[in-house]
Amino acid sequence: MKKNLFWIFLFTFSILFAGCKKTAYEYSFQNPDLRVEQRAADLVSHLTLDEKITQMLNQTPAIERLGIPPYDWWNECLHGVGRTEYKVTVFPQAIGMAAGWDIDAIRLMGDYTAEEGRAIYNLSQAKQDYQRYTGLTYWTPNINIFRDPRWGRGQETYGEDPFLTASLGESFVNGLQGNDPVYLKAAACAKHFAVHSGPEWNRHIFNAKVSNYDLWDTYLPAFQTLAEAQVAGFMCAYNAFEGQPCCGSDPLMIDILRNDWGFKGYVTSDCGAINDFYRNHQTHANAQSAAADAVYHGTDLDCGREAYLALKQAVEEGLITEAQIDVSLQRLFQIRFRLGMFDPKEKVPFSSIDSTALESPAHKALALKMAQQSMVLLKNDGLLPIDKSRLKKVAVIGPNAHNPEVQLGNYNGFPSRIITPLDGIREELGDDVEIYTDSVIACYGPTPKSFAATMNQVKDADLIVYAGGISPRIEGEEMRVEAPGFYRGDRTSIRLPQIQTDLMKALKATGKPVVFVMMTGSAIATPWESENIHAILNAWYGGEFAGKAIADILFGKYNPSGRLPVTFYASDNDLPDFEDYAMNNRTYRYFKGKALYPFGYGLSYTHFDYAWEHQPEALYRDNETIHCSIKITNSGKWTGDEVAQIYIKYPQDGTRLPLKELRSFARKTILAGQSEAIEVCIPVAQLAKWNEEAGKQVVPKGTYTLFAGGDSEKEAISAVFDIQ
């Protein structure tokens, strides 16, 4: 018996010892138990100069002798995984998600997007498919400030306000990157750094000039927030800043990003931006000097045009050292290690995500919810919501009534099904209601001599839904479109194209109730429509469920709750020169005119009342925090979401300060007749503005006003306080 026990003990001990024995690795970088900094340094030490340079291009080749597979850094997930061959969930365009003012929904959208991205990555790796748009490094979010509604890429942003942009951007990054202590679920990238928001046609030669005040007040806050949130990457912009290309900017790339903010992640160029150094900006003589300068300034990756292939010549000419190149290589490989790309599957918690994640029921439910939240009811004379039991015939007409492509915005993926306004209304009304539909016109173009045929078809309708606006095929990134009101992706006028106004005038003349469903990625001036049309619903580019969300709002299944993340101006005359980056008279913070629809605006089917539960103190100092609490009561008959917005009015003492500024917000679902309380905490230090004399940001002294309400002009309650 003792002999048997001895052998049992010996066998058990040998098993335990074998389990504890560490795996032998040929190279240290293969050991997942080492710190990523150690692993990256070791890997880079084994590379030749030629290999190093090719690993600094977005499309990297394999290094077979080290077991490193090919990888393409370029991927997109602006509002769901973009440009993939797989069917994926498509959420509303970024500007639409911003109109939801929902931090939790944005975070969850980021998480769901990373989940679908991981599924695609895992499927692609299993097939040894290393093509573009299969990787885990997403060049999202776009946190540039939508300072001018003519910018075609403004649809990709979270609007015109730095605080809202920073809040939503941080939430998206946290959702996308995940909270695993070791691995990134996916890698986000803040773009385009910095002072970049149009025009599109001259972005490769444009030299942006702004004051230090505007730089720190408007163009940098969101980037600073994401740097502090440890976003994995930054993308530097095409344009120059104060005479230097952004990817080679002393103040932006060295002083601010790396030194002041201590950013440790990677930086990629926008695609072809390094070539712009010597071909367009003409600040550098050739490719090798441009490449060396970009790497010196911390641009680790060259996307698109392979200017970095000249780095070998740059080393030979003494323009840069191999050691400086190693710094960039180590940053790049640290990201890949943090994504678990070289580790055993059992170590990486996301390696088991499979195709069932794509378009999962939970993801689609969130896409519908965010589409509903995004839509902003701009006008309602009492027509909405519509009692569908009284309808026998409905006309659903216009260029966007049944145009699935419009709803997807840009940088988009493709879902299995897209529900258009026509689809959504038809499904809601069923077979008992006759539906007449016709696109009638294009978004823009000359007005036909007569709309008589259309009017003859709609004259007996009980309701006319006109779905118009514009399209991501005429506003977007550096496009070739030149048409009345549009140029190279930007807009030359913010007015609704005249052909659409003319059609709606004809529809109005029928005497039938008309709803204008406006799809757009930017603010549209609609002076006639706002005065004459019964109801206007701004639906943005609402993603795959836009049509259902529209129908839900029109027929009262969902109480509209979207709020504008941009100012809707009344006319082109309200806008400064497009190329002027100074913030004078721009956005609600500095605009002194009367907006058609102000920042933060949006109607509901119910009414919300505000009251103080606890007012701010009368006096604060720099190191203190403003605390207050607000009671919001739904005094109407509909349950609905209120987006409570808290603004600060700055002292207008002759110095350059905002007229008002968003500093807190909260979305709350409140039952009819019920109340909810929100707590407000605003650190006084967050009110600091650039002081030229001090050479830094300083909290201005003086008398302030804090007010709360449903938009930037609705001061439901207010309180005055001093800062000393």
Per-residue pLDDT tens digits for 362-420: 999 999 999 999 999 999 999 999 999 999 999 999 999 999 999 999 999 999 999 99
Q: What is the pLDDT of residue 306?
A: 84
Q: Check whether 338 has a pLDDT greater than 70.
A: yes
322-338 and 287-296 are packed helices; what angle lies between their axes, rounded to 10 degrees? 60
Q: Check whether 104 has a pLDDT greater than 60.
A: yes
Quick one: what percent of the chain has pLDDT higher than 70? 97
Distances in whole angstroms, Cα of residue 465 to Cα of each of 54, 435, 453, 538: 55, 11, 17, 13
* Residue 10, in any domain of the structure: no
Residue 378 backbone phi and psi in degrees, to 5 = -85, -35
Q: Which of 102, 160, 270, 711 is catalytic?
A: 270
* Residue 13, in any domain of the structure: no
* Residue 598, in any domain of the structure: no
Per the structure, how many domains does the chain have? 3
Q: End of a domain among 560, 590, 620?
A: 590
Instruction: Using alpha carbons only, give the angle 371, 373, 376 rounded to the nearest 5 degrees.
Output: 100
Q: What is the pLDDT of residue 496?
A: 98
19-23, 413-417, 454-458 — which is least confidently predicted?
19-23
Give the β-pairing of 608-614 and 625-634: antiparallel
CATH of the domain at 98: 3.20.20.300
Helix, strand, or coil (residue 263): coil
Active-site residue flag, 242: no
Element (H, E) at 114: helix 103-126
Query: Could you tell me if 267 and 392 lie in one domain?
Result: no
Residue 510 backbone phi and psi in degrees, to 5 = -70, -20
Element (H, E) at 617: none
Query: Could you tell me if 654 and 688 lie in one domain?
Result: yes
Banded model confidence at residue 584, pLDDT cuts 50, 70, 90 = very high
Q: What is the pLDDT of residue 10?
A: 39
* Residue 414, in any domain of the structure: yes
* Average pLDDT of span 469-493: 96
Banded model confidence at residue 21, pLDDT cuts 50, 70, 90 = very low
Q: What range defines the domain where residue 206 resides?
A: 27-357
Quick one: what percent of the chain has pLDDT higher than 90? 95
Q: Check whether 536 has a pLDDT greater than 50.
A: yes
Residues 6+ apart with CB under 8 A from 419: 427, 544, 545, 546, 547, 548
Query: Could you tell me if 134 and 237 lie in one domain?
Result: yes
* Residue 95, in any domain of the structure: yes
Q: What is the pLDDT of residue 524?
A: 98
Q: What is the pLDDT of residues 421-439, one digit of tens each?
A: 999 999 999 999 999 999 9
Query: Could you tell me if 520 and 650 lie in one domain?
Result: no
Q: What is the pLDDT of residue 671?
A: 98
Q: End of a domain among 557, 590, 623?
A: 590
Query: Could you tell me if 580 and 612 lie in one domain?
Result: no
Query: Could you tell me if 581 and 629 lie in one domain?
Result: no
Banded model confidence at residue 9, pLDDT cuts 50, 70, 90 = very low
Q: End of a domain among 590, 617, 647?
A: 590
Q: Check whether 567 has a pLDDT greater than 50.
A: yes
Element (H, E) at 705: strand 702-709
CATH of the domain at 692: 2.60.40.10
Distances in whole angstroms, Cα of residue 17 to Cα of each of 13, 243, 344, 387: 6, 64, 21, 75
Q: Check whether 352 has a pLDDT greater than 80.
A: yes
Q: Check whether 629 has a pLDDT greater than 90.
A: yes
Q: What is the pLDDT of residue 304?
A: 85
385, 560 Cβ separation under 8 angstroms: no
Q: Check whether 7 has a pLDDT greater than 90.
A: no
* Average pLDDT of span 457-470: 98
Query: Could you tell me if 508 and 548 lie in one domain?
Result: yes
Q: What is the pLDDT of residue 20?
A: 42
**Rounded-to-integer distance, Cα 187 and Cα 189, Å:** 7
Q: Check whether 6 has a pLDDT greater than 80.
A: no
Q: Partners of 619 in the beta sheet?
A: 722
- 260 CB neighbour count, 10 Å cutoff: 13
* Residue 595, in any domain of the structure: no
Q: Which of 170, 475, 642, 711 is catalytic?
A: 475
* Residue 602, in any domain of the structure: no
Return the residue matching tokens 């007040």.
217
* Residue 665, in any domain of the structure: yes
Distances in whole angstroms, Cα of residue 158 to Cα of each of 75, 191, 566, 570, 664: 20, 12, 9, 21, 16
Q: What is the pLDDT of residues 115-124, one digit of tens each?
A: 999 999 999 9
Query: Could you tell me if 54 and 114 lie in one domain?
Result: yes
Query: Could you tell me if 245 and 269 lie in one domain?
Result: yes
Query: Could you tell me if 464 and 573 lie in one domain?
Result: yes
Query: Could you tell me if 612 and 714 lie in one domain?
Result: yes
216, 173 Cβ separation under 8 angstroms: no
* Average pLDDT of span 560-583: 98
* Average pLDDT of span 199-203: 98
Query: Could you tell me if 703 and 585 lie in one domain?
Result: no
Q: What is the pLDDT of residue 702?
A: 97
Q: What is the pLDDT of residue 645?
A: 98
Instruction: Using alpha carbons only, give the angle 146, 147, 151 rounded to the nearest 5 degrees.
Output: 65
Q: What is the pLDDT of residues 23-61, one digit of tens each?
A: 689 999 999 999 999 999 999 999 999 999 999 999 999
Active-site residue flag, 475: yes
243, 608 Cβ separation under 8 angstroms: no
Q: What is the pLDDT of residue 22?
A: 54
* Average pLDDT of span 272-286: 98
Q: What is the pLDDT of residue 14?
A: 41
Q: Dihedral sign, CA of 101, 105, 110, 113?
A: negative
Q: What is the pLDDT of residues 281-332, one digit of tens each?
A: 999 999 999 999 999 999 999 998 789 999 999 999 999 999 999 999 999 9
Element (H, E) at 108: helix 103-126
Q: What is the DSSP string of 626-654?
A: EEEEEEEEE-SSS-EEEEEEEEEEPP-SS
Q: Partners of 719 in the beta sheet?
A: 706
Q: Check whether 3 has a pLDDT greater than 90.
A: no
* Average pLDDT of span 14-23: 45
The chain-wide mean pLDDT, for the chain, equals 96
